[in-house]
């Protein structure tokens, strides 16, 4: 089955450590490239995934960072979650908010069922 005919789903679980964000970024790049996103779109997604993963890991208890990439040739949605470390805030610095708004279509951060979570979505501009 060709990628164009199906929704692509990739799940990744890595230790909840900042050093593992690189693996998440590389996976985001690979999935987006496979789906036909252009260079600029891939780089924008990498920036967003890096920022959002790092935000979660700042609030993570020891455990796993779980990330899911769900996409098609038109759009890609990335979700992630980590166990909470006792912090209750999901506040984001204004500069980070500006960066995220510039590179992806939308994102959200929340705390749910003992986890900090993010979701972001980007659409291909060249479709």
Per-residue pLDDT of the chain (127 residues; tens, 9 = 90+): 333 444 889 999 999 999 999 999 999 999 999 999 999 999 999 999 999 999 999 888 899 999 999 999 899 999 999 998 877 677 788 899 999 999 999 999 998 888 999 999 999 987 5
CATH number, domain at 85? 3.30.565.10
Is 22 a domain residue?
A: yes
Is the overall model pTM greater than 0.85, yes or no? yes
Is 25 a domain residue?
A: yes
Transcribe 43-104 into DSSP letters: HHHHHHHHHHHHHHHHTBPSSEEEEEEEE-SSEEEEEEEEEB-S-------HHHHHHHHHHS
Is 90 a domain residue?
A: yes
Question: Which domain, by its residues, includes 28?
Answer: 3-122
Q: To the nearest 10°, the Cα dihedral for 61, 63, 67, 68?
A: -120
What is the count of structural domains for the chain?
1
Is 48 a domain residue?
A: yes
Is 127 a domain residue?
A: no
């Amino acid at each position: 089955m060709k990628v164009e005919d199906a929704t692509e789903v990739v799940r990744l679980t890595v230790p909840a450590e900042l050093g593992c964000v690189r693996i998440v970024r590389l996976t985001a790049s690979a999935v987006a490239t496979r789906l036909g996103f252009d260079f600029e779109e891939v780089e924008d997604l990498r920036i967003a995934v890096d920022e959002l993963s790092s935000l979660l890991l700042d609030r993570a208890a020891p455990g796993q960072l779980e990330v899911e990439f769900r996409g098609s040739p038109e759009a890609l949605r990335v979700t992630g979650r980590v166990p909470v470390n006792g912090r209750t805030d999901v506040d984001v610095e204004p500069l980070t908010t500006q960066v995220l708004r510039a590179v992806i279509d939308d994102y959200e951060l929340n705390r749910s069922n003992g986890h900090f979570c993010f979701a972001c979505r980007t659409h291909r501009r060249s479709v």
